[in-house]
A = this chain, B = another copy of it.
Amino acid sequence: MTKIRFYNAKILTMKDRNVIDGELWVDGDKISYIGASKDSDINWDRQIDCKGNLLMPGLKNAHTHTAMTFARSLADEASLNDWLFKHIFPIEAKLTGDNIYWFSQLGFAEYLSSGTTACFDMYFNPEDQARSATDAGFRHVFCGSVNDFGGIDRLEDEYNRFNSYNDLVSFKLGFHAEYTTSEEIMKRISEISHKYEAPVFAHVSETRNEVEGCKERYGMSPVKVFDKLGLFDFGGGGFHCVWFDEEDRRIFKEKGLYSVFNNCSNLKLASGAPKVYKFVNEGMNIAIGTDGAGSNNALNMFREMFLASTLANLEVEGGAFIDPYAILKSATSTGARCMGLDDCDVLAEGKKADIVMIDMSHPTMNPVNNIVANLVYSGHPGIVKMTMISGKVLYENGEFKTIDIAEVNRVTAKMMGELV
């Protein structure tokens, strides 16, 4: 197994706020040591002088549609409904498995270049995505994408197949949303959830219209519908969570469900802003995602962290002022647990080596009055020097080790010509 030693490092494990000066060892796909500098007789495959740069857990993008890179800057300045029905669905109807493979490669490259080491992805053609993720070496957690147009008959098979696919790929039960999924189908998903004692995820309360429509159909909010159908009996959570009321939050809190926020996409589609501070103040499980590149338009977790931290200051008289450490936790350790990646949450011995190196010489990271605040309030993808997943360096100093970015750009450009 490949043995890599990082030395002269600052290490933010995210087990707490402390920053350790020392070294981190990787043995195969796992971390084997974190602590003070020490001698060893290990026959290292590679020794990396971190020169005082920071090692931290990779960012976890807890809600995305990776292959939607095709839709970046394709149809802007539109609200969710128009964007989805007029612009996106007609193109998605044409997408081939090959399209999914290549546009996913582009998304994985963007993740790696911005310090993201895992994504929680809802899309279709999972076989092509799983192949694309595996070729890139990227950690890919599927969320089932069932809706009225299909998917329910494949869900159980996909659940079993992609949970035993390989070490980088896993699968969680999920469906698109209440407004696109009939009660009958949601009941069938609930049955599968009960059979496997597995959590369930879906888009929830993204827009005011969605919640109002659900109340007309069911006389209650989407969260309450899902809860009543037993979809949350084994955990899970929701994406967006913009229009939650107190009762929705109470249900999520009591069941330990995960709320995944997507502020950039919500802003761009004029869907509103989630009350992140209420979730933080109540000690709830929160995570952060970018949503797809079509509605964001980037897959940039740093921008998401800044907005998750600051946007509520517009709403709360005198300022909500969320602790940036709470936001960094949501983007790393809590995000990992949301996706079932309990072994990728923090840097510790025995955990997976999903690690990012941050350039501490970058001007935006100096002076170092507060590393966590610098990361959340000042960070951007340009401060990422290296991204490692499962013990493999996949991105380093601007270069991709597993993805031929020139070829990806060439192929996806050609595909765009055929799609629009």
Stretch at the interface among A9-17, A35-43, A262-270, A340-348: A262-270
List the B side residues contacting A405 at CB < 8 Å: 361, 363
State in angstroms the CA–CA spacing of A409 and B366 once bound together. 7
- Oligomeric state, in copies: 2
Would you give the shortest CB distance from A276 to chain B, in whole angstroms?
13
Interface centre among A364, A380, A405 (most CB of B within 10 A): A364
Which A366-420 residues have C-beta < 8 A from chain B? 366-370, 373-374, 377-384, 398, 405-406, 408-409, 412-413, 415-416, 420
Which A261-313 residues have C-beta < 8 A from chain B? 264, 267-270, 272-273, 293, 296-300, 302-303, 306, 310-311, 313
Closest partner residue, chain B, to A300 (CB atom): B380
Residues 188-199 of A, flagged 1 when their CB comes within 8 A of B and 0 if not, give 000000000000
Which A55-95 residues have C-beta < 8 A from chain B? 69-70, 72-74, 76-79
Would you give the shortest CB distance from A304 to chain B, in whole angstroms?
11
State in angstroms the CA–CA spacing of A79 and B416 once bound together. 46
Would you give the shortest CB distance from A299 to chain B, in whole angstroms?
7
List the B side residues contacting A374 at CB < 8 Å: 72-73, 297
List the B side residues contacting A377 at CB < 8 Å: 73, 76, 268, 296-298
State in angstroms the CA–CA spacing of A413 and B367 once bound together. 6
Closest partner residue, chain B, to A419 (CB atom): B367
Closest partner residue, chain B, to A415 (CB atom): B367
Would you give the shortest CB distance from A106 to chain B, in whole angstroms?
5
List the B side residues contacting A368 at CB < 8 Å: 413
List the B side residues contacting A273 at CB < 8 Å: 314
Which A105-133 residues have C-beta < 8 A from chain B? 106-107, 109-110, 113-114
Total interface residues on A, using CB and 8 Å? 72
Q: Answer whether residue A21 sits at the interface, using C-beta atoms and an 8 A cutoff.
A: no
Taking a contact as CB atoms closer than 8 A, the residue among B107, B269, B311, B314 that contacts A272 in the complex is B314
Task: Tell me if B298 and A364 are in contact (CB < 8 A).
Answer: yes
Closest 4 pairs between A and B when the two form their complex, measured CB to CB = A382-B382, A270-B319, A77-B321, A73-B373
Given contacts A73-B369, A270-B320, A297-B378, 17 further A-B contacts (CB under 8 A): A70-B367, A73-B373, A74-B370, A106-B367, A109-B363, A114-B364, A264-B306, A268-B310, A268-B313, A297-B373, A298-B364, A298-B379, A366-B412, A367-B415, A381-B382, A382-B382, A382-B384
Q: Which residues of A contact B (CB under 8 A)?
A: 69-70, 72-74, 76-79, 106-107, 109-110, 113-114, 264, 267-270, 272-273, 293, 296-300, 302-303, 306, 310-311, 313-314, 316, 318-324, 361-364, 366-370, 373-374, 377-384, 398, 405-406, 408-409, 412-413, 415-416, 420
